[in-house]
Amino acid sequence: SARERMEKSRPMTITIFMNGTELTVEDGKTLLDAARENGIDIPTICFHEATKANGLCRMCVVEVEGMRLLQPACVVQAGKDMKVKTRSERVDRARKTILEMLASTMDLSDAPEILTMMDEYGASADRFPDAERRESTVKDDNPMYVRDYSKCLLCWRCVQVCADDAQYTYAINFEGRGYETQIGTFFDKTIPETTCVLCGQCVGVCPTGALKPKRQYLLEQGVSAEEISVMNTGRKKRREK
């Protein structure tokens, strides 16, 4: 009957307990999905709605009863009768340490959301004074955006939107290993020499200002809007020739 077909088409639901509150969520949803659908805040850095979740940054870890380790909410699926704590002494300590390690090795000056998290969790940028900083010169090799990898936290968002999650261009990827890992182009080519189509999607998902629109960068360097306009006009004339 029509009623039976409707019943079958409805998504299966399960019950979980988050911070002591009983929630009914669709089967297959992640703990992060369940939290956000019910107005419960779980902080994220690497997660973005437009990209596949990989649980790289670990800021979204939560405590799940019966599990020894803290679980990344962006990739762990909600399970029947699962009991979850999104805030606890253990969870807060883990998030605080992650923020302090980031602050000790990279430039977070253009990452207001992360700086707000540091205030919320009482994280100190001076906790690891002997940490080696990730230093990089600004790469200014194309007319659309600049790359400052001293501000990059390797969230992978830019690589994902450049690849299977959006553009299918594959212009950038990880290079190096361990602490030397960074985002780069194949064979360290300049952006115009790669398959990049200057779509700007990588810039749009960058959470730290490591990728920045060229105009914004020039304005921050003290170049006037009029000077930038003249520079753009010069490029257009060269293309017309």
- pLDDT above 90 for 6: no
Confidence of residue 220 (pLDDT cuts 50, 70, 90): confident
Tokens describing residue 226: 């009029």
Q: What is the identity of the amino acid at 172?
A: I
- pLDDT above 60 for 201: yes
pLDDT at 179: 81
Task: Tell me the per-residue pLDDT of 175-193, one tens digit each, with 9 for 90 and over.
Answer: 888 888 889 998 889 999 9
The fraction of the chain above a pLDDT of 70, given in percent, is: 91
Pick 215 or 229 by higher pLDDT: 215
Q: Tell me the mean pLDDT in the region 87-96.
A: 97
- Residue 54 CA: distances (Å) to CA of 27, 60, 75, 160, 207: 20, 11, 7, 10, 16
pLDDT at 61: 97
Cβ count near 125 (within 10 Å): 14
- pLDDT above 90 for 60: yes
3-state secondary structure of 156: coil
pLDDT at 232: 66
- pLDDT above 70 for 236: no
Pick 3 or 16 by higher pLDDT: 16
pLDDT at 235: 55
Task: Tell me the per-residue pLDDT of 111-145, one tens digit each, with 9 for 90 and over.
Answer: 999 999 999 999 999 999 999 988 889 999 999 99
Q: How far is CA 186 from the centre of its chain?
A: 22
Share in percent of the chain as helix, strand, coil (round to 5)? 35, 15, 50
pLDDT at 205: 95
pLDDT at 35: 96
pTM here? 0.84
